[in-house]
């Protein structure tokens, strides 16, 4: 496969969403750089995830798709505005003259953008919804492995890359680090603290509230470890209730993704369910305990200070 590609000069990774998948797909960046040190790597993602990638020194460009704003414009009937911005995005992608596009999303929307880039080689990961017709090759997503990002590792192997170079590659910027430091100082989290990440978009992946409360009390009373509850804006009310019952500081909805990454990087450890914030614990090389139930993206976290507790 690598011989078919030659040595690409410019590679575009397409992963629009979701948060956890963007984090896990970031492991492709060091794999590409290890194989082709001079390659320029760009990424196309939704604006909501851009903070996870914007300050990565191994990315030469970041293209963002403002999904929320486009949806609002579309609802308002401003179709031409959306189409104009989409046309501008495609123009910029084509101007970059990519040799290779990796559509790691594998959906029709990502496949259309990959095809519109004008790249001669377009490799899709588990492409469906007809997007395989827009690819020059499709790599199966069905991989037997217990490691994080197993499908992205498989895609890398199909390119002839060394899987040993896979490493989650999230880099908060200096302003994100400063914001995290200020938030810690404001919240009294000046010593080693634990981050709890109890929330996901799917309730079946949640752990029981009473268990989180019990764990928070244990950390604080027995171990003297402060607890910070982390989540998105929609989780704030739930997080406040957990903090009121179990103690700790509610930071849900008070950080961007990049600031959350910087905050996690300052933590003593992280405990979380199957959510992007838990994957950030691995990305930021913090001791991480992942609690998986209805889903299990990995069982072997491939990190010396991380563990998975799994009960189907």
pTM for the whole thing?
A: 0.96
The tally of domains found in the chain comes to 2
Q: How far is residue 297 from each of residues 94, 119, 143, 311, measured CA to CA in Å?
A: 34, 31, 12, 13
Q: 126 and 179 in one domain?
A: no
Could you tell me the two tokens for 24?
A: 């896990």
Separation of CA 96 from chain center: 24
Q: In terms of domains, do 154 and 277 share one?
A: no
Domain of residue 108: give its range. 2-165
Alpha carbon of 52 to those of 48, 158, 171: distances in Å? 9, 26, 7
SS3 of 2, please?
helix
Task: In whole angstroms, give the CA distance from residue 101 to residue 138.
Answer: 12
Burial of 98 (0-12, 13-18, 19+ CB in 10 A): buried
* pLDDT (tens place) for every residue of the chain, 312 residues total: 444 778 999 999 999 999 999 999 999 999 999 999 999 999 999 999 999 999 999 999 999 999 999 999 999 999 999 999 999 999 999 999 999 999 999 999 999 999 999 999 999 999 999 999 999 999 999 999 999 999 999 999 999 999 999 999 999 999 999 999 999 999 999 889 999 999 998 889 999 999 999 999 999 999 999 999 999 999 999 999 999 999 999 999 999 999 999 999 999 999 999 999 999 999 999 999 999 999 999 999 999 999 999 987
Q: Are residues 259 and 134 in the same domain?
A: no
Q: Quick one: 109 and 198 in the same domain?
A: no
* Contact in structure between 287 and 303 (CB atoms under 8 Å): no
Give the integer Cα–Cα distance in Å for 237 and 242: 9
């Amino acid at each position: 496969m690598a011989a078919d590609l030659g040595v690409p000069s410019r590679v575009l990774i397409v992963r629009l969403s979701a948060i956890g998948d963007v984090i896990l797909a970031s492991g492709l960046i060091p794999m590409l750089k290890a194989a082709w040190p001079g390659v320029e790597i760009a990424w196309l993602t939704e604006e909501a995830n851009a903070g996870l990638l914007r300050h990565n020194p191994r990315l030469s460009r970041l293209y963002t798709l403002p999904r929320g704003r486009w949806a609002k414009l579309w609802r308002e009937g401003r179709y031409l505005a959306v189409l104009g911005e989409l046309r501008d995005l495609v123009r910029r992608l084509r101007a970059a003259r990519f040799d290779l596009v990796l559509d790691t999303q594998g959906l029709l929307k990502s496949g259309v953008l990959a095809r519109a880039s004008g790249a001669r080689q377009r490799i899709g990961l588990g492409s469906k919804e007809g997007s395989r017709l827009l690819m020059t090759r499709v790599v199966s997503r069905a991989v037997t492995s217990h490691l994080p990002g197993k499908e992205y590792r498989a895609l890398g192997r199909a390119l002839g890359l060394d899987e040993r170079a896979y490493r989650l590659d999230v880099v908060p910027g200096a302003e994100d680090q400063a914001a995290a430091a200020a938030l810690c100082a404001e919240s009294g989290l000046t010593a080693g603290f634990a981050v709890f990440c109890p929330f996901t978009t799917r309730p079946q992946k949640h752990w029981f509230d009473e268990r989180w409360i019990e764990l928070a009390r244990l950390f604080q009373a027995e171990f003297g470890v402060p607890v910070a509850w982390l989540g998105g804006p929609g989780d704030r009310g739930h997080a406040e209730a957990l903090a009121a019952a179990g103690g700790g500081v509610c930071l849900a909805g008070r950080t961007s993704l990049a600031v959350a990454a910087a905050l996690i990087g300052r933590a003593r450890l992280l405990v979380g369910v199957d959510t992007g914030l838990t994957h950030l614990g691995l990305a930021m090389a913090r001791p991480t305990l992942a609690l998986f139930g209805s889903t299990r993206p990995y069982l072997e976290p491939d990190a010396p200070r991380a563990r998975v507790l799994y009960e189907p």
